[in-house]
Amino acid sequence: MAGLSVVIIILIWWLRRRSPTSNATIWLPALLRVSFHRLFLLLFVFPFVAICIFYAGLALFDSPKVGSVVATTLWIPAMILVVAPTPVLEWIVVPLRLPRVAYWIGRVCLPLGFADEPVGGGVVYGVLALRRKGTSGQTVDWLRKKIDRTPPLRGMGVVTAGLLAAFRGDDHRARCLFLVADTLPSKLLSRKARAMARDWLVVDAARAGNWREVIRLGRRRTPRLRWSYAVARIAERLVGDKQAQPGWLLWLSWTLAPRRRASLQLLCRALAIPRASNALATKQSFKSDLPYALAGFARVLENGQACDGRSFTTSVRAVNAALEDADTCAQVRQRLIALGARGDAEAVVAGFRGRVIDALANQLEEFPHLAHAEGAEPMIEQAIVRVRMRAFRDIRARCEDYKEREKSQSALEVVLEWEMWAVLRHAADRLLELDPASEAAVFQTMWPICNNFAVFQHNICKRLMLAYEIYSWLQRHAQSAPAASELLLRNMKAAWTQG
C-alpha cells in the first residue's frame, strides 16, 4: 500500500510538472480524462438513476419487477451511449434530426474528438442535426446561446461559430472562421474539429472550381487530414500540376480516405486525364482585334477561379493591344461622327480602359492568385492599386472600430468577436496574397490597435485564446518591427500560459 501511494504521488507530481497551465491544475491526456468521466457516469451516475427508477416503479406500481425491468431496459442503451457516443450521435441522433438531444449527448457523454470542449462538441452535433432538418430559428438561437455563455471560447467554439454562419447562409463569414480554425495550433483544436473546418473549405473551393485553393488546403502538412489530402491529390491531376501523383498512388489516397463513394466520380475524372497534362497551361493565343480579345477576356473573367495568372495576363494584354491599336481609335472616331457626338475618341477609349480596370479589380479581389504572373501588365498593376486602396480602407475601418471599443471598454459576445476578427484577418490575408510587398504597411496599420484590443480581450474579458490568435497573427507579420515582434511573443506566451 505504501509503495502504491508513493507511485501515485510521483505520478501526480510528474503530471503537474507537465501541465502547460497554472500550478493549480493537473494535465491529463484527453483519452484519460474522457475515460475517467465515462467511468464516473457508469459507476455512479447511471446506477443512481437506475436505483431511483427502481424505487419509483416500486412506489407507483407496488411491484419490484416493473422498476427493475425499466431500469434494466434503460441501462443497456445508457451503457452504449456512454461507451460509444460518437456512433450513436452520427448514425442515429443526427439522421433522426434531434438537435437538442444531440447537444445534450455531446455535452454529457464527451465524444472523443470534442472532449476538451464539451459544450462546443454538443453544439456541433446540434447544428449537424439541424442542417438536415432545414429550418428552426428557435433551436439555432438556443444553440448559439450555449456557445455565447461558454467562456473561454477555444478552437471548437470557432468551428461551431463557422458552422452556425454557414447554416444561416453567410458563407463569407463561415469561410473566414474556418480559415482561422484551420490554422489554430493543434493544442487548441482537436483533429476532428479541424477536419470539419478544412472539409468545409475544400468543398467550398471545389464547388466554385477553385482547384488551386483545394490543393493549397489539402496539402497542408500540420496536420494532414485524409479526405482533404485525397481530394487535393485528385485536384492536382485535374489541373495538371507538376506534383500530380501516378494513378496507383491516387487510388491509395482515395482508399485511405473516408467518403469514398462520394469522391469516386471525381477520382475517375482525374484518372481520365494524363498525368502532368498541364490542363491550365496557357494554350490559347488571344487574337489582337478587340471583339476576339474581349471574348477571351470574358472567358477568363467567368472562370477566374480555374485560371492561372498567365492566361489572365495574356488576355488582358490582348485587350490592351487592341485598345492601343490605331484602328480602334479610328473606328471610335468614325462612330462618334456618325452619331453626331462631340466627344473625343481618346477619352472614350480611356473610359473603356477604366471599366476594364474596374472588372480586373473585382476579379483580383476575389482571386488574388491571378496577380502573380511573369511580365507586368499596366492595367493589372492599376487594378492592384485599386484593390489595395479598397482593402486598406476596409482594414482601417475595422481597426477604428477596435480602437473605439477598446477605448470605451465595450466587448461584444464572444462568437461575434471571433467573427469580426476572422473577417479582418481574412481581408488582411487577401491583401497580402495579392501584394506581398505591402506586409510592412499592413502590419503598421494593424499592430498597435489590434494589439491593444487583444490586451483588452486578454486582461478584462479573459478571452485568452482570441487574444492569443490576434497576437500570433500579428507576430507572424512583424518581420519589419523586431521590437513589436518581441512584445507580441511575450503576450502570446502570457495568453498561452494562462489559457
Partner 1 sequence: MSKGDPLADWRSNPFFVLEISTEASRAEVERAGQKLLALLAVGRTAAEHYQTPLGPATRDADKVRQALAALRDPNERVLHELWANIAPSGAGNEDENVVERWEAAASAVGWIKKWPG
CA distance 196 to 442: 30
SS3 letters across 245-273 = CCHHHHHHHHHHCCCHHHHHHHHHHHHCC
- Of the residues 49, 92, 112, 203, which one makes contact with partner 1 according to CB under 8 A: 203
Nearer to partner 1, 54 or 178 (CB): 178
Nearer to partner 1, 103 or 471 (CB): 103
Nearer to partner 1, 53 or 181 (CB): 181
CB 239 within 8 A of CB 269: no
Residue 285 touching partner 1 (CB under 8 A): yes
Residue 259 touching partner 1 (CB under 8 A): yes
Amino acid identity for residue 19 in this structure: S
CA distance 197 to 165: 12
Residues in the chain: 499
Q: Which one of the spans 107-115, 217-225, 333-341, 448-456 is the region binding partner 1 (CB under 8 A)? A: 333-341
CA distance 498 to 465: 9
SS3 152: coil
- Of the residues 1, 4, 59, 339, which one makes contact with partner 1 according to CB under 8 A: 339
CB 438 within 8 A of CB 479: no
Residue 17 touching partner 1 (CB under 8 A): no
Least separation in angstroms between residue 82's CB and partner 1 is 26
Nearer to partner 1, 10 or 96 (CB): 96
Region 305-324 residues binding partner 1, contact defined as CB under 8 A: 305-308, 311
> Nearest CA to 110 among 123, 95, 94, 121?
121
Nearer to partner 1, 38 or 212 (CB): 212
What the block records as the C-alpha cell of 301 is 473573367
List, in sequence order, the alpha helices (H) in 277-411: 290-302, 309-324, 326-338, 345-366, 378-407
Residues contacting residue 351 through CB under 8 Å, at least 6 positions apart: none
Q: Binding residues for partner 1, how many (CB under 8 A)?
A: 75
Least separation in angstroms between residue 452's CB and partner 1 is 35
Least separation in angstroms between residue 85's CB and partner 1 is 19
Residue 182 touching partner 1 (CB under 8 A): no
Least separation in angstroms between residue 300's CB and partner 1 is 9
Residues contacting residue 423 through CB under 8 Å, at least 6 positions apart: 172, 173, 176, 398
Nearer to partner 1, 74 or 279 (CB): 279
The distance of Cα 165 from the centroid of its chain, to the nearest Å, equals: 11
Based on its alpha-carbon atoms, the radius of gyration of the chain, rounded to whole angstroms, reads 29
Region 27-56 residues binding partner 1, contact defined as CB under 8 A: none
How far is the CA of 63 from the CAs of 52, 57, 60, 71, 421, in angstroms? 14, 7, 8, 13, 61
Residue 329 touching partner 1 (CB under 8 A): no
Beta strands in 113-266 (DSSP E): none
- Of the residues 35, 68, 288, 362, which one makes contact with partner 1 according to CB under 8 A: 362
Amino acid identity for residue 340 in this structure: G
Residue 271 touching partner 1 (CB under 8 A): no
Residue 266 touching partner 1 (CB under 8 A): yes
Region 219-238 residues binding partner 1, contact defined as CB under 8 A: 238
Nearer to partner 1, 163 or 464 (CB): 163
CB 311 within 8 A of CB 282: yes
Site track for partner 1 across 124-163, x = CB under 8 A: ----x-xxxxxxxx--x-----------------------
Nearer to partner 1, 22 or 135 (CB): 135
Region 83-112 residues binding partner 1, contact defined as CB under 8 A: none
CA distance 180 to 442: 18
Q: Which one of the spans 4-12, 55-63, 288-296, 419-427 is the region binding partner 1 (CB under 8 A)? A: 288-296
- Of the residues 54, 103, 178, 211, which one makes contact with partner 1 according to CB under 8 A: 211
CA distance 235 to 229: 10
What the block records as the C-alpha cell of 94 is 443526427
Residue 262 touching partner 1 (CB under 8 A): yes
Least separation in angstroms between residue 204's CB and partner 1 is 5
Q: Which one of the spans 8-16, 25-33, 145-153, 294-302 is the region binding partner 1 (CB under 8 A)? A: 294-302
Residue 255 touching partner 1 (CB under 8 A): no
Site track for partner 1 across 364-403, x = CB under 8 A: --x-------------------------------------
Nearer to partner 1, 138 or 222 (CB): 138
Burial zone of 442 (CB within 10 Å; 0-12 exposed, 13-18 middle, 19+ buried): buried
Region 404-463 residues binding partner 1, contact defined as CB under 8 A: none
Least separation in angstroms between residue 336's CB and partner 1 is 6
Residue 326 touching partner 1 (CB under 8 A): no
Burial zone of 451 (CB within 10 Å; 0-12 exposed, 13-18 middle, 19+ buried): buried
Residue 336 touching partner 1 (CB under 8 A): yes
- Of the residues 209, 245, 382, 426, which one makes contact with partner 1 according to CB under 8 A: 209
Beta-carbon count within 10 A of 119 CB: 19
Least separation in angstroms between residue 419's CB and partner 1 is 16
